[in-house]
Chains A and B, each alone.
Chain A
């Protein structure tokens, strides 16, 4: 299975290592010419303002958006979730806008507000979740909610897109990445 990982900025190596451990072939997407036939797409954590700007200026936004709209299975974490969201409550930018949710950026404040918490993830069970200057999903609209913490939605799925406010790539638990690979297989 061939997975494209957006590699313009952020923690993309961590996703790559995890997916390679699960037997995937990964390619880093740094410019338009890197975009080729892939079975799945990962949008990693990092700074959404930087990633969004580079996506636009390196002419990658439209081709990737078309692929997501055409059903390409996509796993987005933290900044990636912000890129996917159709609306950001405290930022007027919209990037892919393919995931019908409203997210709030830096919803837990600055770095001192970052935290880890164990919570239940749909069909997986308890999962250690790491939130770093994280967003959360303010309005999940018609998506399927996969996880909540203290009443706030932190993970959703909508058709081919999985959006997470936390970082499963930072631990050793590969279950969410396995769920993503199952989504590709089905």
Chain B
């Protein structure tokens, strides 16, 4: 990826800030999401909660289904490929997807290597639980980061843990003496120049969204107040009682994330939230995939 392309791809993520990216499985859902105010949609055959329920190997979606969603909406369309599956990523690039999510939600195709995202022109977003994972993905060419959370659970605890950990590690790097950064790079298992960037700027060099377990406007506001620059909502919308209303409420909660009075109004009569499951009730821990 050329330096210009990196800037363009980081730039698209910057344009998505303050917005909500929603998982959709059909063109109809994509239209509902767009009308509700999604800043982008993630096209996939099954949302994480159903992937979890179905079990088995979960792969990139049918390109025809993704194209149907691309035709249905005017906002950016993202799609997931398996961790390390660069051939799936090549296919997604060939159908001109706007962003690829190299995602732990799908079954990993490689248990050692991630995709060399620098080989691609199309941008990638990757999940991270801490600063080390985030900077390793950025070094591989990711131009956007999101927390992993624990997808398909409706349980926000892991996303909170990951966002807090990432930001506390960033604050630690900022407070270090410059001669301590070399050791920090060694400990984090990341290149020195990325640690130096974090030290000087107090943030990742790319946009950082929250993902995994967001189910309510309050969840979205919580993640924004913890420092997320935007929010992915996976199963939380189309697994709930009134998807259009819930989606619109989450969009407004992300814009005015400190206005508790407004969020109180937005949280009224949303119907049933997705049925959540706790991390000790699930067999597959997706966040541990791809470190």
Q: A: which residues have CB within 8 A of B?
A: 7-14, 30-31, 45-47, 49-50, 53-54, 57-58, 78-79, 90-91, 105-106, 109-112, 114-116, 130, 132-133, 167, 170
Contacts and interface: CB of A to CB of B under 8 A. Distances in A.
B157 interface: no
Contacts of A111: 8-9, 12, 76, 96-99, 122-123
A134 to B, nearest CB: 10
A153 B40 CA distance: 27
Given A8-B255, A11-B15, A116 B8 contact: yes
A112 B15 contact: no
A10 B17 contact: yes
Of B9, B14, B34, B93, most A-chain CB atoms within 10 Å: B14
A112 B18 contact: no
A9 B15 CA distance: 8
Given A31-B262, A54-B252, A116-B4, A46 B18 contact: yes
B17 A53 contact: no
A59 B14 CA distance: 25
B39 A47 contact: yes
Contact of B122 (A45, A112, A132): A112
A184 to B, nearest CB: 25
B18 A9 contact: yes
B19 A106 contact: no
Given A50-B37, A53-B37, A9 B12 contact: no
Contact of A132 (B11, B39, B97, B254): B11
A46 to B, nearest CB: 5
A41 to B, nearest CB: 17
Contact of B75 (A11, A47, A54): A47
A110 B76 CA distance: 8
Contacts of B8: 111, 114-116, 130, 132
A99 to B, nearest CB: 20
Interface in B2-35: 4, 7-9, 11-12, 14-19, 34-35
A116 B5 CA distance: 9
B256 interface: yes
A46 B39 contact: yes
B12 A106 contact: no
Nearest to A54: B255
B206 interface: no
B121 interface: yes
B76 to A, nearest CB: 7
Given A9-B255, A110-B96, A47 B11 contact: no
Contact of B7 (A8, A46, A49, A130): A130
Contacts of B166: none
A67 B15 CA distance: 25
Nearest to A109: B96
A14 B123 contact: no
Contacts of B11: 11, 114, 130, 132, 167, 170
A153 to B, nearest CB: 21
Contacts of A57: 252
A54 B251 CA distance: 9
B119 interface: no
Interface string B91-117: 001001111000000000000000000
A47 B76 CA distance: 9
A112 B37 contact: no
Contacts of B254: 9
A11 B4 CA distance: 18
Contact of B251 (A45, A50, A91): A50
Interface in B239-266: 251-252, 254-256, 259, 262
Contacts of A9: 17-19, 39, 254-255
Contact of A10 (B4, B18, B37, B93): B18
Contact of B14 (A14, A115, A116): A14
A49 B15 contact: no
Contacts of A116: 4, 7-8
Interface in B77-99: 77, 93, 96-99
